[in-house]
Structure 1
Amino acid sequence: MKKQIQFLKGEAHSLKPVVQLGSNGFTEGVLAEIENALAVHELIKVKVPSEDREELKLYVEAIVRESKAEKIQLIGKTLVLFKQSDDKKIELPKK
């Protein structure tokens, strides 16, 4: 798994955030956007603009839980998520 996470971090490096939480925070609409983006891309970045570290942590936990995606990393306010689709667009290295 460690090898796969390193691989995904490398893949995510050049990505731009596709979803950004707005002033309303983590809403149903945002979750739908995240799920759609994961279905299309498998690996996405989500911008979580929160000045409060605890709030940021709660948002990240909620996003990971609700989207059922895997948290690859959190850099500053940018969360990297991965959820493999049935198509397996991203070929993961062997464990």
Structure 2
Amino acid sequence: MSLTNVQKKQYRNIGHTLNPVVTVAGNGLTESVLTEIDRALEDHELIKVRYSITDREARYELIEETSKVLKAQIVQTIGKVALLHRKALEPNPKLSNLLR
């Protein structure tokens, strides 16, 4: 299910105050990085991920691959930071960035 423009605007507004929770370095998407992003998405539903890769096209491909592998939706990308969203199976009101 894709996000509507209203939802994207709302999530961008929430994401404005968030800090990146995971940094993807030059090693790319390792199993441990994917596991950490998956855990963060399950806990928070809306997260920022920093991609420390200088090549713009390679960085965008990694962002796309991350969203496909983890079944997350890209809300916004600005520079080296991507805002990702995935609905949690059992959202925790204390951790979720959407329910606070």
Same fold (TM over 0.5): yes
Give the partner amino acid of 1:65: K
Counterpart position of 2:49: 46
Counterpart position of 1:61: 64
1:20 matched to 2:23? The reply is yes
Counterpart position of 1:37: 40
Instruction: Give 1:2's match in structure 2, choosing from 1, 5, 12.
Output: 5
Equivalent pairs: percent with the same residue? 36
Q: Look up the SS of the partner of 2:11 in the other structure.
A: helix
Aligned length in residues = 91
Q: CA RMSD in A?
A: 1.2
Structure 1 stretches of at least 4 aligned residues deviating more than 2 Å after TM superposition:
86-91
When normalised by structure 2's length, the TM-score is 0.85
Task: Tell me by how many angstroms 1:24 deviates.
Answer: 1.3
Q: Structure 1 stretches of 5 or more lacking a match?
A: none
Q: Structure 2 stretches of 5 or more lacking a match?
A: none
